[in-house]
A and B are shown apart, each in its own frame.
Chain A
């Protein structure tokens, strides 16, 4: 059964820094991997989805990469802003299973 972990659990950085969030999964037979953002008490907003045949996806200041062989995905945020403060979740969509979510990384960007 797929297990998804995320490190760090929490991260605090000053505004303007570039940062990397990590996601690891145990079963490499994934169909795709999706990154989400969740603001406190709110639903999830999809950020990027990487299909298993892709290596990375980019949207604005966000870049997500996928390495199936090592069971890892990273979310790179460039020039962080206070508005980026949220919890970031990764989820893998696996063959024969449904989405399995990681516990999330809580990001605080300080002005």
Chain B
């Protein structure tokens, strides 16, 4: 595709509901990152994949957050039992090669609102 695609663009969830956010990276991009951006803040790292391997998940805020990339392309970020503090924009980014973070391409993000 032309760029990193994220869906849905907006998601409203009731507290306690499970949500799944999708990221389609640029075709052939090896590295994939998820970031969480709260209102008025910069993006904060959640997790990183190299192909299908999740190499770093140190930024996931709790065990309610889970990410996968089973075939090394599309990735899904799942949040179980959503809480109001989960409300944020969730950004996905990809880069062509391992360690090439200076050439990260970002998606438009999914804005999650938990009521």
Q: Do A and B bind each other?
A: no
